[in-house]
Amino acid sequence: MQSRQKALNLLGLAERAGKIISGQELVLAGLKAKKIKVVILANDCHEGTSEKVNRITTKSGISIISAFNSDEISHAIGKKRKVLGITDIGFYKALVQKINEGV
């Protein structure tokens, strides 16, 4: 459980560092502009949102992480969000490492 919290803390850090694009429309635009390294999608988001994001990430070859719910994501970054895009490869790698440690 501690790795999960560390992963969420890392999202907050990435947000403060300006390495996160948040909100569905901005993330979709970021994907089309090839700015996003990975998408964080709340596991409790609306099915339509999920399908739209899945379609574009598949086309772009970008991974989706659905390890967190919308409350966890919103709390981590301090904004009510269900879709995030991480624009920095370092944060992406660190996040994957934390998640693999035990989420």
Record the pTM.
Answer: 0.93
Torsion over CA: 1, 17, 66, 95 (sign): negative
Query: pLDDT at position 3, please?
Result: 86
In the chain, which stretches have pLDDT less than 70?
A: 1, 103
Instruction: Select from 40, 39, 73, 42 the least CA-distant residue to 57.
Output: 39
- Write the CATH number for 7: 3.30.1330.30
Backbone torsions φ then ψ of 63, nearest 5 degrees? -80, 155
Q: What are the tens digits of pLDDT across the range 6-28?
A: 999 999 999 999 999 999 999 99
Backbone torsions φ then ψ of 33, nearest 5 degrees? -85, 0
